[in-house]
Amino acid sequence: AQKITQTQPGMFVQEKEAVTLDCTYDTSDQSYGLFWYKQPSSGEMIFLIYQGSYDEQNATEGRYSLNFQKARKSANLVISASQLGDSAMYFCAMRDVRMDTGRRALTFGSGTRLQVQP
Amino acid sequence: DTGVSQNPRHKITKRGQNVTFRCDPISEHNRLYWYRQTLGQGPEFLTYFQNEAQLEKSRLLSDRFSAERPKGSFSTLEIQRTEQGDSAMYLCASSLTRGTGRRTEAFFGQGTRLTVV
């Protein structure tokens, strides 16, 4: 079974500073995909960044980058130049594939609440 | 296209009543998922549709829960005889079959927040 662990229930960061949100995972699959989603108070899960287990380079999407350390089974999200609008819940997730049905659901961690302070 | 749409956004119901939620996925997306998110937790997978076929149900989906996706378009999730433990955010997500990696990423709706009193 897959498991995602996010050990930081809450984080504070000053506006314009960088922040790292931790994520470790456990899987027996050789091929897997890792995601980060942002959930503002409105409730919608917003896709931020994706990392495939065989991708040679760490993923980047604008101010978001993923520090992928495969041997340590960690996939930390780095947000550079934090903005007030970044205040939200952040979830790390792993794709959970079932080949016979084609299901590609996501297994989520418990999330980290990020608060950006002016 | 405006993304995944869910209605209602909020629902308050008395214990024992039935409730139904609706999800309208992104039009070309053939895969549809329902998740449940309780306070302080990440979403948990409930059920999966490919087109109109419900191909998988999680063990979290008790007999009081039923989901449909007629004609492979919108989907409904019904909870019968609601209990206080059903209080949660119910999220719908859709994705495409084609492609690999992030191209099969799921797009989520804003969810329906259910409160059972």
* Separation between Cα atoms, residue B66 and residue B57, nearest integer Å: 10
What pLDDT is stored for residue B64 in this prediction? 96
Q: Which of residues 49-108 of A touch B (CB under 8 A)?
A: 50, 52, 91, 93, 95-96, 98, 101-108
- In this predicted structure, the answer to whether residue B109 has a pLDDT above a threshold of 90 is yes
Chain A residues near residue B97 by CB distance under 8 angstroms: 102
- CA nearest A77: which of A118, A47, A32? A47
Chain B residues near residue A35 by CB distance under 8 angstroms: 102, 105
Q: In terms of CA atoms, which chain A residue is nearest residue B108?
A: A45
Other residues' Cβ atoms within 10 Å of the Cβ of residue B41: 15
What pLDDT is stored for residue B98 in this prediction? 59
B102 touches chain A (CB under 8 A): yes
Query: Angle B4-A77-B48 (CA atoms, 0-180°, nearest 5)?
Result: 35
B63 DSSP 8-state letter: T
Cα dihedral value A13, A16, A22, A27, nearest 10? 150
> What is the sign of the dihedral through the CA atoms of B72, B27, A37 and A71?
positive
Predicted confidence pLDDT, tens digits, chain A (118 residues): 789 999 999 999 999 999 999 999 999 988 899 999 999 998 889 999 999 999 889 999 999 999 999 999 999 999 999 999 999 999 999 988 888 887 888 999 999 999 999 9
